[in-house]
Amino acid sequence: MTRPSKALIDLDALRHNYTRMREMHGGRALAVVKANAYGHGALKCAQALSGIADGFAVAFAAEALELRMGGIHKPVLLLEGCFDQDELLQASHQDLWIAVHQESQLQMIEQTTLPAKSLHAWLKIDSGMHRAGFNPDQVKQAYARLAACPAVAAITFMTHFARADEPDQLATAKQIKVFDDATAGLPGDRSLSNSGAIIAWTDARRDWARPGIVLYGADPMPSNNHGLIPVMTLQSKVFAIKTIAPGESLGYGGTFVAERPTRVGLVAIGYADGYPRIAPTGTPIAVDGQLTRTIGRVSMDMLTVDLTDLPEQGIGASIECWGRQIDVNLVAKAAGTISYELLCNVKRVPRVYIGD
Ligand SMILES: *Cc1c(COP(=O)(O)O)cnc(C)c1O
């Protein structure tokens, strides 16, 4: 038997989530497949969406080239833009759309000889997150300089929200206003919404949405049902069983001490596969569809689950770490992080695709 651990990726669920979020937002939507599609496999996900997506977004040029080499011909936006002139030349040759978020990128475009009308620039505005982007008072001038470049065929305005997944946060309303004021009267498409804003901020709906985490079915606001279907199921099996006596400890550091005779299932997945080591005893996990908990420390290649109250479960029982039964948000919460990080970190286990 080969090691029974895998990340099952449901491409029908991916298409369902894209369609649902595109309709919710209205207009067009770039499917964000950066970071290897949040751990789901960028090329496979882009291929699965290529018939329905308006385009894709990745962080940087190497991620985009993987899609182009794999036969993806739809628009691909570089969310961080170009880091150097080579990447700018590549963007022009490969017909990649580029974010332009700072002076040095603007100068690079002005100073590089490129074919006429070969660039589609997304002018990024810092509307309040204070990470990347031109300040609102620089926008008109940056726009004018871009528009004057013969290589620039089109300009889209974009901004990014710091707190869109907090529906009561006035910070987002303020960012929308700052963006609208800074771009007032300038021609071009607009793009504001990430996943949280698609769901929670109808005021942010414009020409283009940029859904990321929602495509993968991890709801940024899981308290309401937004009709998303988890795309990844991280699964494995129980490969050994052991009963430990009261007072005995389990695993590295002896962090779990049995209070009663405890039946322990060993599961063939660990932090080297991307299951978070920091997830403590009590993290939810499913055994053949039944909810139980992890106990003891997660190790590199395995973790341990409590089977004391599931006496019918033995060697070979199937395990879901996260997926449709165990919301990845719950595991993330137990580990003090967010679904994004857990999904991005999945590695070593094979990805098995269904629905392509
Ligand atoms: C990653 C990213 C997104 C997608 O964010 P989600 O929260 O996953 O929807 C959208 N826009 C930009 C600029 C990003 O960097």
SS (H, E, C) the chain: CCCCCEEEEEHHHHHHHHHHHHHHHCCEEEEECHHHHHHCCHHHHHHHHCCCCCEEEECCHHHHHHHHHCCCCCCEEECCCCCCHHHHHHHHHCCCEEEECCHHHHHHHHHCCCCCCCEEEEEEECCCCCCCCECHHHHHHHHHHHHCCCCEEEEEEEECCCCCCCCCCHHHHHHHHHHHHHHCCCCCCEECCCHHHHHHCHHHCCCEECCCHHHHCCCCCCCCCCCCCCCEEEEEEEEEEEEECCCCEECHHHCEECCCCEEEEEECCCHHHCCCCCCCCCCEEEECCEEEEECCCCCCCCEEEECCCCCCCCCCCEEEEECCCCCHHHHHHHCCCCHHHHHHCCCCCCEEEECC
> Is 65 a domain residue?
yes
Q: Are residues 48 and 98 in the same domain?
A: yes
C-alpha–C-alpha distance, residues 196 and 190, integer Å: 17
Q: Where is the domain boundary, 156, 187, 216? A: 216
- Contact 32 CB / ligand 1 (< 6 Å): yes
Tokens describing residue 77 = 């936006």
How many angstroms is it from 1 CA to the middle of ligand 1? 40
- Contact 160 CB / ligand 1 (< 6 Å): yes
Q: Which residue has the tokens 């810092």?
A: 126
How many angstroms is it from 190 CA to the middle of ligand 1? 15
* pLDDT at residue 224 in the model: 78
Read off the CATH number of the domain in which 253 is found. Answer: 2.40.37.10
Tokens describing residue 353 = 């695709």
User: Which of 295, 302, 237 is CA-nearest to residue 262?
Assistant: 295
Minimal-distance CA residue to ligand 1 atom 6 = 212
> Is 227 a domain residue?
no
Q: Are residues 202 and 289 in the same domain?
A: no
Q: Are residues 118 and 211 in the same domain?
A: yes
- Contact 199 CB / ligand 1 (< 6 Å): no
How many angstroms is it from 218 CA to the middle of ligand 1? 13
- Contact 156 CB / ligand 1 (< 6 Å): no
- Contact 194 CB / ligand 1 (< 6 Å): yes
How many angstroms is it from 32 CA to the middle of ligand 1? 7
Q: Are residues 61 and 196 in the same domain?
A: yes
Domain that holds residue 194: 11-216
- Contact 193 CB / ligand 1 (< 6 Å): no
Sign of CA dihedral 57, 63, 64, 67: negative
Strands 119-125 and 290-293: unpaired
- Whole-angstrom CA distances from 39 to 251, 324, 343 are 28, 17, 5
Q: Are residues 210 and 252 in the same domain?
A: no
Q: Per-residue confidence of the chain (356 residues) as pLDDT tens digits?
A: 799 999 999 999 999 999 999 999 999 999 999 999 999 999 999 999 999 999 999 999 999 999 999 999 999 999 999 999 999 999 999 999 999 999 999 999 999 999 999 999 999 999 999 999 999 999 999 999 999 999 999 999 999 999 999 988 899 999 999 999 999 999 999 999 999 999 999 999 999 999 999 999 999 998 778 999 999 999 999 999 999 999 999 999 999 999 999 999 999 999 999 999 999 999 999 999 999 999 999 999 999 999 999 999 999 999 999 999 999 999 999 999 999 999 999 999 999 999 97
Contact 77, 58 (CB under 8 A): yes
- Contact 210 CB / ligand 1 (< 6 Å): yes
C-alpha–C-alpha distance, residues 60 and 351, integer Å: 23
* pLDDT at residue 207 in the model: 98
C-alpha–C-alpha distance, residues 347 and 344, integer Å: 8
Which atom of ligand 1 is the closest one to the Cα of 160? 13
Q: Are residues 266 and 211 in the same domain?
A: no
User: Which of 228, 325, 332, 217 is CA-nearest to residue 274?
Assistant: 332
Number of domains comprising the chain:
2
* pLDDT at residue 55 in the model: 98
Q: Are residues 134 and 255 in the same domain?
A: no
C-alpha–C-alpha distance, residues 121 and 108, integer Å: 13
- Indicate the angle between helix axes 103-111 and 139-147, nearest 10 degrees: 20
* pLDDT at residue 218 in the model: 97
Tokens describing residue 185 = 């009267």
Read off the CATH number of the domain in which 192 is found. Answer: 3.20.20.10
Q: Are residues 32 and 72 in the same domain?
A: yes
Q: What is the pTM of this model?
A: 0.97
C-alpha–C-alpha distance, residues 268 and 277, integer Å: 14
- Contact 191 CB / ligand 1 (< 6 Å): no
How many angstroms is it from 58 CA to the middle of ligand 1? 9
Q: Are residues 206 and 270 in the same domain?
A: no
Minimal-distance CA residue to ligand 1 atom 15 = 79
How many angstroms is it from 11 CA to the middle of ligand 1? 20
Which atom of ligand 1 is the closest one to the Cα of 164? 7
Q: Are residues 174 and 83 in the same domain?
A: yes
* pLDDT at residue 74 in the model: 98
Contact 230, 217 (CB under 8 A): yes
Tokens describing residue 230 = 């988890």
> Is 123 a domain residue?
yes
Q: Are residues 208 and 257 in the same domain?
A: no
C-alpha–C-alpha distance, residues 82 and 120, integer Å: 13
Q: Are residues 91 and 139 in the same domain?
A: yes
Which atom of ligand 1 is the closest one to the Cα of 198? 9
> Is 284 a domain residue?
yes
> Is 136 a domain residue?
yes
- Residues facing residue 99 across a β-bridge: 122
Contact 255, 249 (CB under 8 A): yes
> Is 222 a domain residue?
no
Q: Where is the domain boundary, 182, 216, 250? A: 216
* pLDDT at residue 46 in the model: 98
Active-site residues, by number, are 34, 252
Tokens describing residue 288 = 């053949």
Which atom of ligand 1 is the closest one to the Cα of 195? 9
> Is 225 a domain residue?
no
Strands 262-267 and 256-257: unpaired
